A and B are shown apart, each in its own frame.
Chain A
Amino acid sequence: MVVEAKTRINLREISNKEDKLAPGHRLCLGCAEGIVVRQVLHAIDYPVVVCSPTGCLEICTGLFPYTAWRVPWVHSAFENAASTIAGVEAAYRALKRRGKIEDRVIKFVVFAGDGATYDIGLQWLSGALERGHTFLYICLNNEAYMNTGIQRSSATLKWTWTTTTPVGKVIPGKKESRKDMTAIIAAHNIPYVAQAAPHAWRDLMTKVRKAIAVDGPSFINILCPCVRGWRYNSKDTIAISKLAADTCVWPLYEVDHGIWRLNYKPSPQRPLTDWFLSQGRFSHLVAPDNANLVIELQQCIDQEWAKLEKLCQCFAD
């Protein structure tokens, strides 16, 4: 069964609703996480319970004694957001069965960073997905541990500058390739997995609606450009997000009940040098000495893209 989005999204209509993330939170200016969280929560028409593990979003929205959340929100440790939301969901089901709580549709959502998803919380997340709790897990992927000071994570692209992979004369940045988390989650055979970015807001919000409509776990990996860590001007957040899709660094696709579908095909595909020129964290790659690294990375990205295209073609009518 392929899930269809409930209704078409009308921006003017939803703009009259109150934000579930209140202003006054302390995310950096131009932070994509604020944009993504607002888009996601506006796409969900049901009451929600949110859980955030440690990360940028958690420290900026839940700085005691302030909270920016207008929905019930739980902070858990770095690794166990998936277990926490699974517990909340199981408790709700149990209380409902015993008639101790009002029976209504409640959606359970996790907002986690890439460190909490790719590295620290992978085992917990994998467990919760396998047990089949009904929740939506959203990874706000800013490609490094930004809240502690731009340390590399396994979501960081190869040859990227971070504070723990400094660029020197011998080693030009992070030596390891990033891992394909969305494909790892898709391999759990859960009902809905997707990859999205904030510039494609209709695509993102439709994916959220599809994800909460399924019975079982769902996962969306969302790119969140980071002004401080990626070294660009705060006004360019959405433009950088679009560039990621156009250079195929961040393909937009979904795996709906096992069916892979490409949501956006850039025409023409922009060269990776455009991506490197747009951000300060790649400034060393623009130097002529490192031209071989750019060629190597372009080959990697092209190969990943070709693989994804072929996979999606297998399921095309």
Chain B
Amino acid sequence: MSDRLRGKMPEKGWKELPIRGLIIEPGNSVNYETGSWRALRPIINLEKCPHCMFCWLFCPDGSIIVKNSQVTGVDLRYCKGCGICAVECPRQVITMVEEAEVAKETNVW
């Protein structure tokens, strides 16, 4: 399995893991980047964005980046590409683009 699928956290043996199934680092799932699941990529037209926060509110993964009450983009490390943001956007400024198309344009696979 590639490192990309396994996540960033180095593997630990049973001697290094905390006992009794405790996880002592809160929110360490950020080391597991679920963005590799994505087939469709949301692209926000920020010029037309009304910053109503509906995309942020209805994102199951919390991957809409918000700074000072303004939407600034999508966190592609975690976005799974469900497309709820594109449907729920009242001004339809979010479009879902095939990852393969993006890869063709940018030449990054």
Most buried by B among A21, A29, A39: A29
- Is B60 an interface position by the 8 A CB rule? yes
- Is A64 an interface position by the 8 A CB rule? yes
A32-56, CB under 8 A of B: which get 1 and which 0?
A: 1111001100000000000000000
A211-253, CB under 8 A of B: which get 1 and which 0?
A: 0000000000000000100000111111100000000000000
Report Cα–Cα, A17/B105, bound state, in Å. 35
A13, A35, A68: which contacts B27 (Cβ < 8 A)? A68
Residues of B within 8 A of A29 (CB): 37-38, 60, 80-82
A39 touches B57 (CB 8 A): yes
Q: Whose C-beta in chain B lies nearest to the C-beta of A32?
A: B60
A1-34, CB under 8 A of B: which get 1 and which 0?
A: 0000000000111011001011111111111111
Q: Is the interface of B mostly helix, strand, loop or mixed?
A: loop
Report Cα–Cα, A239/B83, bound state, in Å. 12
- Is A62 an interface position by the 8 A CB rule? yes
B53 to A: closest C-beta gap in Å? 4
Report Cα–Cα, A38/B55, bound state, in Å. 13
Q: Tally chain A residues at the interface, Cβ within 8 Å.
A: 44
A67 touches B29 (CB 8 A): yes
Report Cα–Cα, A26/B34, bound state, in Å. 7
B13 to A: closest C-beta gap in Å? 12
List residues 50-71 of chain B with CB under 8 A from any CB of chain A: 51-54, 56-63, 66, 68-69
B63 touches A23 (CB 8 A): yes
- Is A65 an interface position by the 8 A CB rule? yes
A57 to B: closest C-beta gap in Å? 11
A238 touches B31 (CB 8 A): no
A268 to B: closest C-beta gap in Å? 23
Residues of B within 8 A of A11 (CB): 52-54, 56-57
A16 touches B60 (CB 8 A): no
- A11-B57, A16-B68, A35-B58 known; A65+B12 contact, CB < 8 A: yes
- Is B33 an interface position by the 8 A CB rule? yes
- Is B9 an interface position by the 8 A CB rule? yes
- Give the size category of B's interface with A: 35 or more
Q: Whose C-beta in chain A lies nearest to the C-beta of B68?
A: A16
B61 touches A25 (CB 8 A): yes
A31, A32, A65: which contacts B23 (Cβ < 8 A)? A65
Report Cα–Cα, A39/B53, bound state, in Å. 12
- A16-B68, A22-B29 known; A34+B56 contact, CB < 8 A: no
Residues of A within 8 A of B80 (CB): 28-30
B80-103, CB under 8 A of A: which get 1 and which 0?
A: 111110111000000010000000
Residues of B within 8 A of A63 (CB): 29
B53 touches A38 (CB 8 A): no
Report Cα–Cα, A25/B26, bound state, in Å. 12
What are 6 A-B contacts defined by CB distance under 8 Å?
A11-B57, A15-B69, A30-B83, A233-B83, A235-B83, A236-B87
Residues of B whose CB lies within 8 Å of any CB of A are 7, 9, 12, 17, 21, 23, 25-34, 37-38, 51-54, 56-63, 66, 68-69, 75, 77-78, 80-84, 86-88, 96
**Which 9 pairs across A and B sit closest by C-beta, in order of nearness?**
A34-B60, A235-B83, A24-B29, A30-B82, A22-B27, A23-B78, A29-B80, A12-B69, A29-B82
- Known pairs A38-B59, A234-B84; list 17 more (Cβ under 8 Å): A11-B54, A12-B53, A15-B56, A15-B69, A16-B68, A22-B28, A29-B37, A29-B60, A65-B23, A66-B31, A66-B32, A67-B25, A67-B28, A201-B58, A235-B82, A237-B58, A238-B58
